Amino acid sequence: MVNYPTNIDTWTNVTDDESIISAAHMNDAHNQIIAIEQEQIDFRSRFQAYRSGSNQSIAASANVTVQFNAEEYDEKGEYSHDSTYKFIPQEAGYYFIHAHVTWWNAVNSKIYALYLFEGANYIQQDLLTLNTNQSFVQSLNGIFYFAAAAEIKAVVWTSNGAGGSIDDLLRRTMFCGHRIS
C-alpha cells in the first residue's frame, strides 16, 4: 500500500481505469511532482449470492434454476441476482465454485438432486434419497476451468411426487465463486 508522509508536502491520490492506484507527491512551494508511487490493486472475479425474502417452491420432475436473489458481494458485476441467476465470468481462468441448498418439506423415499451447470451441460451433481421426512442440505464445490463468458448456474431437480421448497433463512441457500488463477 502507498505510504503517505506527514511532512508539509501534499500527496494526491489518483485512480485510473486499470485498477492502478497512484500517489503523486507534490511540493507545495513549487507545485511540482517530486515522487510517484503506484500499486496494482487486484480485483479478482468473485461473488456471493444467497436466497432471500421467501422460500423458492420447486416443482417435481423438472430442472429448476435456483434463484439466489440477493448478493453479499459481486466485485465485477458478473452474477445476475434478478433475472437469470447465472455467474458469467469476464475472464477465462480457474474458479472455485460452491453451491449450497437447504431443502424444506422434503418427502420420504424421493430423489433430490443439485447440479452445477455450465451452459446446457451439468459439470457436477449430488443425488440424495431420503429415508425420512425432514429438511436437509445439499452442497457442491470444486475447482473448474471456465472460458470467458461461460454461463454457470445451480439447478435442482426432484423425483416424481417429491417437489418441495428451498429455504431462504439466514443465507442457508447460497452460491459463490472466486477466481483463483
Cell 461473488 belongs to 47
Specify the number of domains making up the chain: 2
| One domain for residues 127 and 59 | yes
Q: 21 lies in which domain range?
A: 10-40
Look at residues 118, 115, 114, 116 and name the one whose alpha carbon lies nearest to residue 151.
Answer: 118
The confidence score (pLDDT) of residue 21 equals: 47
In a domain, 168, yes or no: yes
pTM (2 d.p.): 0.76
pLDDT in tens, the chain (181 residues): 444 444 444 445 544 444 444 555 555 555 555 556 665 555 689 999 999 999 999 988 999 999 999 999 999 999 999 999 999 999 999 999 999 999 987 888 889 999 999 999 999 999 998 887 888 899 999 999 999 999 999 999 998 777 788 988 877 899 999 999 8
| One domain for residues 28 and 61 | no
| One domain for residues 21 and 57 | no
In a domain, 20, yes or no: yes
| One domain for residues 35 and 115 | no
Judging by DSSP bridges, how do beta strands 70-74 and 46-50 pair with one another? antiparallel
In a domain, 175, yes or no: yes
| One domain for residues 15 and 102 | no
Identity of the amino acid at 41: I
